[in-house]
Amino acid sequence: MSRPAIVVGVDGSLSALHATRWAAREAGLRGLPLRVVHACPPLAIQHPTTLAGQQAYLAALRDQGGHWGREAAAEARGVAPEIEIGTVSRVGGAHEVLIEESRGAALVVLGTRGSGGFDELAVGSVALALAEHGTCPVVVVRGRTPADAPPDAGPVLVGVDGSPASVAAVGFAFQAASVRGAELIAVHTWTEVSFDGAWTALPLDADPEEVAERERRVLAEALAGWTDKHPDVAVTRLVRRDRPVRALLAEAERVGAQLIVVGSRGHGEAMTGMGMGSTSRALLYHAECPVAVARPDPDRKENP
């Protein structure tokens, strides 16, 4: 494909079909191609031991993957018949294949749990791995239950804390709201105790109203420039004295959000070697709508 594509991972599961429809709609809204990818993980087997038998086994894997890819492409065409769609079936572990696919992709989209998951798991290992290690924004498509389709209306929520990943999340959220014609709700939280390289606490005599006003200025500065770049987006600013996950989940439920956008790692979560913070991970487990995890692009200036 000549342009960066939206990549969707498929495995024949209902969750993957929900993700495919979401990705196709997103591709139509953005005017981007869709790349449908299935990874065929070769199993550790002792038989067949002949080369011909091994080749037949791999061919069967590719045939199955091709069938799931064509099924997903048909679903995508039903949602956005105007988009360019390509399908590919690759031999390899889903984690490795999709992380490699994320290099150069505009976006990677996954269902919350694939066909190999356990019913009691809220989110699958592949979705977590991509959200943690993907090199482009990753969207995990969720509904109220794993069997439910995701919402397709309502505001877009974004968590804002001023960190580099948060800046990337704000840019992603403004674009998402703009192409959908949706309201954007920017949520910024504060608490009496925080960690940003060292533990800090507000003085006991601190005035909560003064602190809240200061945090409102922090939020306004984080959004500055983006509102000028996207004048079509109606923005609601919320400052909450709460934990980020609790505030975002409560607001998403209250307004019926169609998408929550967060950075891969916020302030106070900058531990070396950790690709995803506790807030983004918790949302992937508990949100009842799609969750986008954005990360800074080292080759691109994120601010407008």
pLDDT digits (tens, 9 = 90+) for 104-150: 899 999 998 654 443 444 457 888 889 899 999 999 999 998 789 99
Q: Between these two residues, 123 and 90, which has the higher pLDDT value? A: 90
Least confident of 69-73, 209-213, 251-255: 209-213
189 pLDDT more than 70? yes
Distance set, CA 111 to CA 20, 29, 114, 190, 264 (Å): 8, 19, 7, 32, 18
* 68 in Cβ contact with 12 (< 8 Å): yes
Fold of 156-294: Rossmann fold (3.40.50)
- At residue 53 the predicted structure's pLDDT band, cuts being 50, 70 and 90, is low
264 pLDDT more than 70? yes
The pairing of strands 107-111 and 6-9 is: parallel
Measured CA angle at 93 (ends 91, 98), to 5 deg = 90
Q: How confident is the model at residue 206, as a pLDDT?
A: 54
Q: How confident is the model at residue 152, as a pLDDT?
A: 93
Structure tokens at 252: 């998403």
Domain map (residue ranges) of the chain: 6-141, 156-294
272 pLDDT more than 50? no
DSSP β-bridge partners for residue 22: none
* 51 in Cβ contact with 30 (< 8 Å): no
241 pLDDT more than 70? yes
269 pLDDT more than 70? no
Distance set, CA 214 to CA 56, 158, 164, 210, 221 (Å): 66, 19, 20, 6, 11
Average pLDDT over every residue of 69-83: 96
Q: How confident is the model at residue 236, as a pLDDT?
A: 97
- At residue 50 the predicted structure's pLDDT band, cuts being 50, 70 and 90, is low
- Looking up tokens 């949302």 gives 283
Average pLDDT over every residue of 244-256: 96
Q: How confident is the model at residue 197, as a pLDDT?
A: 44
Structure tokens at 168: 């990337």
Least confident of 25-34, 141-150, 230-239, 260-269: 260-269
Average pLDDT over every residue of 256-278: 67
160 pLDDT more than 90? yes
CATH topology of 6-141 equal to that of 156-294?
yes
Closest CA to 87 of 66, 111, 64, 62: 66
Query: Could you give the percent of the chain with pLDDT greater than 70?
Result: 79
Query: At 7, phi and psi to the nearest 5?
Result: -100, 135
Average pLDDT over every residue of 185-199: 66
> Each residue of 5-24: pLDDT tens digit?
999 999 989 999 999 999 99
Class of domain 6-141: alpha beta
> Each residue of 161-187: pLDDT tens digit?
888 889 999 999 999 999 999 999 999
Q: How confident is the model at residue 184, as a pLDDT?
A: 98
Please tell me which of 18-32, 93-107, 144-158 the model is most confident about, judged by mean pLDDT.
Answer: 18-32
